[in-house]
Structure 1
Amino acid sequence: MLWFLLCTGLLVAGYFTYGKVIEKIFGPKPERQTPAHSLEDGVDFVPMSNKKVYLIQLLNIAGVGPIFGPILGALYGPVAMLWIVIGCIFAGAVHDYFSGMMSVRANGASVPTIVGEQLGNVAKHFMNGFAVLLLLLVGVVFVLSPAGLLSSLSDTSVGIWIAVIFAYYIIATIVPVDKIIGRLYPFFGALLIFMSVGLVIGLAVSDHTFYSQGLDFSNLHPTDLPLWPLLFITIACGAVSGFHATQSPLMARCMQNEKSGRFIFYGAMIGEGVIALIWCTLGLSFYESTDALNATLAAGGPSAVVHEVSTSLLGTVGGILAILGVIVLPITSGDTAFRSARLIIADFLKMPQQSMPKRLLIAIPMFIIGYLITNAEFGVIWRYFGWANQTTAMIMLWAAAAYLAREGKFHWICTVPAAFMTAVTFTYLANASIGFNLPMTTSTVFGLAMATLATVALLVKIKGPQVTPVVKLPD
Structure 2
Amino acid sequence: MYTFLGGIALLIIGYFTYGKFIEKMFGVREERPTPAYVNADGVDYMPMSTPKNSLIQLLNIAGTGPVFGPIMGALYGPVAFIWIVVGCIFAGAVHDYLTGMISIRNKGAHLPELATKFLGKAMKHVVNAFALLLLILVGTVFVSTPASLLHVLTEGKIAIGIIIAAIFIYYILATLLPFDKIIGRLYPYFGAVLLISAVGVGGGLIITGAPIPELSLTNFHPANAPIFPLIFFTITCGALSGFHATQTPMISRTTQKEGQGRKIFYGMMIAEGIIAMIWAAAAMSMFDGYGGLQELLAAGGPGAIVSEVSTTLLGAIGGTLAVLGVVVLPITSGDTAFRSARMIIADYLNIAQKKFSSRLWIALPMFAISVALTQIDFNILWRYFSWANQSTAVIALFVGAMYLYIAKKNYFVALIPGSFMLVMVITYILNAQIGFRMSMTASWIGGFIGSAILLVLFFIAANKARANNLPLEEDVSGWNKVA
Q: TM-score, normalized by length of structure 1?
A: 0.97
> Residues 79 and 355 of structure 1: is their aligned pair in 2 closer, same or farther, counting only changes over 3 Å?
same
2:307 matched to which residue of 1?
307
The letter of the residue matching 1:140 is: T
Q: Identity percentage over the alignment?
A: 52
1:78–1:215 Cα contact (<8 Å) kept:
no
Counterpart-to-counterpart distance in 2, 1:418 and 1:110: 19
Shift of 1:464: 4.6
In the TM superposition, 1:161-240 aligns within 5 A as 161-206=163-208, 208-211=210-213, 216-221=218-223, 224-240=224-240
Runs of 5+ unmatched residues, structure 2: 476-483
Q: Say whether the 8 Å CA contact 1:15–1:266 is kept in structure 2.
A: yes
Residue 5 of structure 1 corresponds to which residue in structure 2?
5
Which AA in structure 2 matches 1:142? F
Find runs of 4+ consecutive structure 1 residues off by over 6 angstroms: 212-215
Is 1:23 the equivalent of 2:48?
no
1:396 Cα deviation from its structure 2 partner: 0.7
User: 1:115 — aligned with what?
Assistant: 115
Q: In 2, distance between residues paired with 1:463 and 1:432?
A: 35
Q: How far has the Cα of 1:297 moved from its partner?
A: 0.4
Report the CA distance shift for 1:465/1:256 in structure 2 as closer, same or farther (over 3 A): closer
C-alpha distance 369-463 of structure 1, shift in aligned 2 (>3 A): closer
Task: Say if 2:416 is the partner of 1:404.
Answer: no
Q: Distance in 1 between matches of 2:12 and 2:415?
A: 23
For the residues of structure 1 that align with 2:90 and 2:248, how far apart are their CA atoms? Answer: 18
Moved more, 464-473 or 299-308: 464-473
Cα distance, 1:462 vs structure 2: 3.9
Equivalent residue for 2:279? 279
Residue in 1 that maps onto 2:424: 424
Q: State which drifts further: 419-428 or 460-469.
A: 460-469
Counterparts of 1:275 and 1:253, CA distance in 2:
26
Cα offsets for 1:416-444 (capped at 9, x unmatched): 01100101100100110000111111111
- Equivalent position of 2:478 in the other structure: none
In 2: Cα distance, 1:447 partner to 1:172 partner? 40
Please give the alpha-carbon distance, in whole angstroms, between the structure 2 residues aligned to 1:289 and 1:100.
Answer: 40
- The structure-2 alpha-carbon separation of the partners of 1:43 and 1:216, relative to structure 1 and needing over 3 Å to count, comes to farther
Q: Which amino acid aligns with 2:193?
A: L
Aligned-pair Cα RMSD in Å:
1.6
Shift of residue 455, structure 1, vs aligned partner? 2.4
Displacement of 1:8 in angstroms is 0.5
CA apart distance, 1:35: 0.4
Equivalent residues in 2 for 1:462-473, closer than 5 Å: 462-464=462-464, 466=466, 472-473=472-473
CA contact (8 A) 2:406 2:465 kept: no
Amino acid in the other structure paired with 1:382: W
> CA offset at residue 77 of structure 1?
0.1
Structure 1 residues 18-47: Cα deviation after superposition (integer angstroms, max 9, x where no partner): 111111121111000000011111110011
Mapped partners of 1:473, 1:389: distance in 2: 26
Deviation of the 1:124 alpha carbon: 1.6
Quote the Cα distance in structure 2 between the aligned partners of 1:384 and 1:415: 24
**Contact kept? 1:39, 1:45, Cα under 8 Å:** yes
Alignment-mate amino acid for residue 182 of structure 1 = G
Aligned-partner Cα distance in 1 for 2:116–2:348: 12
Whole-Å separation in 2 of the counterparts to 1:371 and 1:386: 20
Q: What's the CA shift for 1:287?
A: 1.7
Paired letter, 2:299: A
User: Structure 2 CA distance, aligned partners of 1:405 and 1:335?
Assistant: 35
Q: Secondary structure at the match of 2:122?
A: helix
**Map 1:430-469 → 2, pairs under 5 A:** 430-464=430-464, 466=466
Deviation at 1:467, TM superposition (A): 6.5
Distance in 1, Cα, partners of 2:136 & 2:202:
33
Q: 1:336 to 1:76 in 2, by over 3 A?
A: same
1:216 CA displacement: 4.5
1:158 maps to which of 157, 160, 179 = 160
Letter of the 2:260 counterpart: S
- Structure 1 residues 53 and 455, CA, compared in 2 at 3 Å: closer, same or farther? same
Q: Is the Cα–Cα contact under 8 Å of residues 118 and 403 in structure 1 kept in the other structure?
A: yes
SS in 2 for 1:41: coil
More displaced stretch, 201-210 vs 355-364:
201-210
Aligned to 1:106: 106
SS in 1 for 2:134: helix
Q: How many Å apart are 1:198 and its aligned residue?
A: 0.7
Counterpart Cα distance in 2 of 1:270 and 1:163: 33
1:405 & 1:212 partners in 2: Cα distance? 40
Q: Deviations over 1:130-165 (max 9, x none)?
A: 101100000011000000011112211211111110
Q: 1:219 Cα shift?
A: 2.6
CA displacement, residues 257-313 of structure 1 (integer Å, 9 cap, x when unaligned): 001111100001000000000000001111221111010000010001001110111
Residue 160 of structure 1 aligns to which amino acid in structure 2? Answer: I
Q: Which residue of 2 aligns with 1:296?
A: 296
- Provide closer, same or farther for how the CA distance between residues 207 and 218 of structure 1 changes in structure 2, counting only shifts above 3 A: closer
Shift in Å at residue 220 of structure 1? Answer: 2.0
- Report the 3-state secondary structure (helix = DSSP H, G, I; strand = E; otherwise coil) of the residue aligned with 2:256: coil
Q: How far has the Cα of 1:207 moved from its partner?
A: 6.4
Cα offset, 1:314, TM superposition: 0.5
Q: Structure 1 regions of 5+ residues with no counterpart? A: none
State the shift of 1:194 in Å: 1.3
Distance in 1 of aligned mates of 2:215 and 2:6: 18
Contact 1:116 1:470 in 2 (8 A): no
Q: Is the 8 A contact 1:46 1:253 kept in 2?
A: yes
Answer whether contact 1:117 1:469 (CA < 8 A) is retained: no
1:242 corresponds in structure 2 to 242
- Report the equivalent of 2:331: 331
Please say if residues 91 and 414 of structure 1, whose CA atoms lie closer than 8 Å, have aligned partners that are also in contact. yes
Query: How much does 1:188 deviate?
Result: 1.5
